[in-house]
Amino acid sequence: MSIELIIFDMDGVLVNSEPAITFASLQTLKERGIDAEYEDFKPFTGMGDDKFIAGVCEKYGAAYDPSMKARAYEIYIERADEWVQVFPWSKPVLTALHCKGYRLAVASASDLVKVECNLRQIGIDTTIFDAIVTGSDVARKKPAPDIFLKAAEKAGGEPSRSLVVEDAVSGVMAAKAAGMTALGVTTSFDRNTLLDAGADRVTDDLSELPAIVAELFGVRE
């Protein structure tokens, strides 16, 4: 089997933005009188930013409304240069795979405004992507497969010939539910946790991705 489409999750795969969105969410909730803790957000990683904030609100008996996410995004974008860390592999790996002729897509549970902010931080030409799909484009969030199936549809790729790169348990589960190959990267969860979630392969260093793709699916000239 050959791979024609590589779908990247954004947060935890191309950028280390979990601390940034966590700090922004903490500040947002504090403005609403909710004294949450950093670790409160961990169980909701990868499930989309509505759930990321709403899950913590529920823990503290507070009602969630979408204006909380909007405020968190305002803070996030204001502090992105300071808080969002671009992984060193992101731009080189995306460029290398594009040059080899793979179709590329981004599928993030976050909203487009945050995805666009992160892509600006990476400094990548967004025209290399055949599809950019966000949480706003699907009704069901990860671990449902919808976002990856939508990415494959928009990019013109077959699910069975698609590779998903994910850092979160919910994302790995979504990829497998979509009938895709799942590569886990240990930026948010450890190797065994990702394997238990169904990852076909796990790496600690995504700069290895072109070599992993060649090893698993053959070299593309």
Say whether 146 is catalytic: no
Whether the CB-CB separation of 160 and 180 falls below 8 Å is answered with: yes
Q: What percent of the chain is helix, strand and coil (3-state, nearest 5)?
A: 55, 15, 35
54 CB-side CA count, 13 A:
10
Strands 181-185 and 162-166: parallel
Give me the catalytic one of 9, 40, 49, 167: 9
Whether the CB-CB separation of 164 and 7 falls below 8 Å is answered with: yes
What are φ and ψ of residue 162, in 5° steps?
Answer: -120, 140
CA distance 189 to 170: 11
Omega of the bond prior to 143 within 30 degrees of 0, cis?
Answer: yes
Q: Which of 181, 7, 188, 179 is nearest to 85 (CA)?
A: 188
Say whether 81 is catalytic: no
Whether the CB-CB separation of 15 and 87 falls below 8 Å is answered with: yes
Whether the CB-CB separation of 10 and 49 falls below 8 Å is answered with: no
Q: Annotated active-site positions, please?
A: 9, 11
